[in-house]
Amino acid sequence: MYTTALITALLSATAFAAPVEQQLEKRACPGIHIFGARETTASPGYGSAGAVVNKILAAHSGSTAEAISYPACGGGSACGGVSYSNSVQQGTTAVVAAVSKFAKSCPSTEIVLVGYSQGSEIFDNALCGNGDPKQGLSASAAGSIASYNIKAAIFMGDPRFEVGAPYNVGTCKAGGFSSRPSGQTCGNYNSKIQSYCDAADPYCCNGNNAATHNGYANEYGSKALTFVNSKL
168's enclosing H/E stretch is strand 168-169
Is residue 71 left, alpha or beta, with left meaning phi > 0 and alpha meaning psi from -120 to 50? alpha
- How many Å separate Cα 219 from the centre of its chain? 20
| Closest C-alpha among 168, 153, 170 to residue 207 | 170
**Residues 118, 122: Cα–Cα separation, whole Å:** 6
List residues with catalytic annotation.
Answer: 117, 201, 213
Residue spans of alpha helices (H) in 106-168: 118-128, 139-142
| Closest C-alpha among 100, 119, 138, 95 to residue 195 | 119
